[in-house]
Amino acid sequence: MSAFTKTYTNGEITIVWNAELCEHSGNCFRNLPQVFDLRVNPWIRPENADSQTIVEVVRRCPSGALTIKDETDRE
């Protein structure tokens, strides 16, 4: 079974969302609603906060459905 994933980038980092892992705890929305907002489309808008703040919130995702890919590591 393949995972349903979507990516959202601000040019510095890419947020990867794995829908199959998401437990819908709401931590992302409660901690950074300007980026994670299920009421709008797209629901993840990484341009609305600085990269470090986003990384801190994503690290607290209890299910691991949200992860970060650092775009500055490219060669």
Q: For 10-27, how does the pLDDT look when each residue is reduced to its tens digit (9 = 90+)?
A: 999 999 999 999 999 999
Higher pLDDT, 74 or 3: 3
Q: Cis (ω within 30 of 0) for the bond into 42?
A: yes
pTM: 0.87
Judge whether 8 and 46 are in contact, CB under 8 Å. yes
Domains recognised in the chain with CATH numbers: 5-73 (3.30.70.20)
pLDDT of residue 70: 77
